[in-house]
Amino acid sequence: MNELKQACEAFEKLIQEQLDRIANMNCEKTDFATKKTVTIGVVDGDGIGPIITSQATRVLKHLLADEVEKGTIVIKEINGLTIENRMAQGKAVPDDVLAEIKTCDVLLKGPTTTPHGGTMESANVALRRELDLYANVRPVSIPEKNIDWMFYRENTEGEYVLGSRGVELPGMAVDFKVTTDLGTRRIARAAFDYARQNGKNHVAIVTKANIMKKTDGKFTSICHEIAAEYPEITADDYYIDIMTANLLKDPLRQQFKVFVMPNLYGDIITDEAAQIQGGVGTAGSANIGDKFAMFEAIHGSAPRMIERGMGDYANPDSILKAAAMLLRHICRGEAAEKLENAMSACPVAVSYDAGVTCMDYADAVMGLL
């Protein structure tokens, strides 16, 4: 009975924390079209992170050289978000590192390692919470297959926000999932706004509401409330299991345009979509909030590549695509287009067998800019 009482007390604390989080959700949006100086923070992370982010930073400095010289763009390198420092301090994001990050408007972040087991949460999850980066946005484009997908994954709720806060009783472990009205409305509105602004006529709402009736049921019903404000857009419900199959099915998959979904399902299905595109190394990712935004590769830190001495051959495509998304977010669309065109036209590809390194690829891209 003592264990049950402790579990109930822990759950009560979690509920109160979530109520407090809801009370602080609303934030004034940053207008990058009028902002005189934009500060881009660069965090290199773990494993291959320093290798690919260093090359992305070179490309950004090359692209934005005039603005960097004028002071309208500041590129700040932030150290300390390494697995060694996080473990030593016992924090997913050390306080001094978080304070530095909060001096920036946007963040370009390399992959970070999350320890297996234990109670330390992912640095990404912590940053999404601390910066309130509620929309994870991931594009997948394969023109030759008529695929043009945009995924909107809720980023601050679901299993991830409480995934390291579960309780364990003798013979039993329980984790928690949370869905809020405000959190769902803002991710749904972000997805439908994108669809309207980009001429997309279909949004797929992806859940497991037939099983998770309270949380996913709430997510589904609120998405349809928002959908009613966009009569020109069709909104359809899909369960996550069948949607993972649908993404592999021609020609059905070509009808999908925009997806909106809770946190866990978004994590799974965007990796599948990236693999269809050519691998997780080919996809960039945006984490958008009202005040801050973070852009990153969707893959991990690839410790095996480092162990084998192959780190210099890490593919920077994902982080460079994230950099292009960052540029669009801060209203530097012309620079983003130049970067995307250079990557498409680049005649070389990173290859261990051919001896083409990450730096060689970045050099070739910059040669085309």
Tokens matching residue 170: 């003798």
Tokens matching residue 64: 């934005």
pLDDT for the residue 279: 79
Indicate the pLDDT class of residue 160, thresholds 50, 70 and 90.
confident
pLDDT at 162 over 90: no
Cα dihedral value 340, 337, 28, 189, nearest 10: -70
Average pLDDT of span 105-128:
87
Indicate the pLDDT class of residue 195, thresholds 50, 70 and 90.
very high
CATH entry, 31-133+289-368, from 3.10.20.740, 1.10.1660.10, 3.40.50.300, 3.40.718.10: 3.40.718.10
pLDDT for the residue 1: 65
In eight-state DSSP terms, residue 356 is: B
Q: In the beta sheet, which residues pair with residue 129? A: none
Strands 284-288 and 135-142, sheet pairing:
antiparallel
Q: What is the mean pLDDT of the chain?
A: 93
pLDDT for the residue 112: 94
pLDDT for the residue 191: 97
Lowest mean pLDDT among 99-103, 112-116, 285-289, 312-316: 112-116
Strands 202-207 and 258-261, sheet pairing:
parallel
Tokens matching residue 245: 């199959």
- The ranges assigned to domains in the chain are 31-133+289-368
